[in-house]
Amino acid sequence: MTMQGDVVVVTGGTSGIGQVAAETLANRGARIVLIAREPQRAAGTLAKLKVAGPDAQHSVHLADLSSIEATRRVGAAIAASESRIDVLINNAGAVFGRREVSVDGLEMTFAVNHMAYFVLTQALRDRLVATPGARVVSTASAAHTSGKLDFNDLQSTTSYSSIRAYGTSKLCNILFTRELARRFMGTGVTANCLHPGFVATRFASQSGGLIQALAPLAKLFAVTPQQGADTIIYLTASPDVADKTGLYFYKRKPISPSPTAQDNAAASVLWATSEAIAGGVKLGFGVDPGG
d(CA 82, CA 58): 12
Residue 209 has pLDDT above 70, yes or no: no
Q: Using the predicted structure, report yes or no on whether residue 63 has a pLDDT greater than 50.
A: yes
Q: Where are the alpha helices (DSSP H) in the chain?
A: 16-27, 39-52, 68-81, 108-110, 116-129, 162-184, 209-218, 225-237, 264-277
Mean pLDDT of all residues in 157-167:
95
183 SS3 class: helix
CA dihedral 36, 139, 134, 274 (to 10 degrees): -80
The reported pLDDT for the residue numbered 2 is 85
Sign of CA dihedral 25, 27, 32, 38: positive
Interatomic CA distance for residues 166 and 170, integer angstroms: 6
Write down the pLDDT at residue 198. Answer: 77
- DSSP lists the bridge partners of residue 36 as 62
Average pLDDT in the 59-75 region? 98
Q: What is the DSSP letter of 126?
A: H
Averaged over 126-130, what is the pLDDT?
98
For residues 245 and 192, the answer to whether their CB atoms sit within 8 Å is yes
pLDDT score of 199 more than 60: yes
Mapped to the 3 state alphabet, what secondary structure does 58-112 carry? CEEEECCCCCHHHHHHHHHHHHHHCCCCCEEEECCCCCCCCCCECCCCCEHHHHH
Catalytic residues: 166
The pLDDT score that the predictor gives to residue 35 is 98
CA gyration radius for the chain? 17
For residue 167, pLDDT beyond 60: yes
pLDDT value at residue 156: 95
The more confidently predicted of residues 220 and 244 is 244
* Segment 229-286, tens digit of pLDDT: 999 999 999 999 999 999 999 999 999 999 999 999 999 999 999 999 998 544 445 4
CA distances from 16 to 41, 153, 214 (A): 12, 31, 18
pLDDT of 206 reads 52
Per-residue pLDDT, 202? 52
Whether 144 and 127 have beta carbons less than 8 Å apart is answered as: no
pLDDT computed for residue 246 by the predictor:
98
CB 99, CB 156: distance < 8 Å:
yes
Q: What is the mean pLDDT of the chain?
A: 90
**288 has pLDDT over 50:** no
- For 30-51, what is the mean pLDDT? 97
pLDDT, residue 224, reads 87
